[in-house]
Amino acid sequence: MTSGQWIRFKFDNDQGYSPLEGIRGPGDSGGPALLKINNTLYIVGVSSWQNAEPTEWQESKHRVIENYSRISYFKKWIKKTMG
């Protein structure tokens, strides 16, 4: 789900997930959210924070909501800054 500057992933099922699905852990902030299109990987987000309230504040568990800063939201700033 996307909203403004955020991309959010909710890992709500601990069964039936793909081998490539995962949840970041403590210290993983700044890592990428990747999207593969035609065998090319694109960074679509940067890991920012995790809402672990559904797991009674146990990080890196199923049912947490992952929040990534959305690259497209900052596109103009990135292009201006990178020159």
Q: What is the pLDDT of residues 20-66, one digit of tens each?
A: 666 777 777 888 999 999 999 999 999 988 876 766 666 666 677 88
- The number of distinct structural domains making up the chain is 1
Domain CATH number, residue 6: 2.40.10.10
Q: What is the reported pTM?
A: 0.73
Residues of the domain holding 74: 2-82
Stretch (H or E) spanning 68: strand 65-70
pLDDT at 65: 83
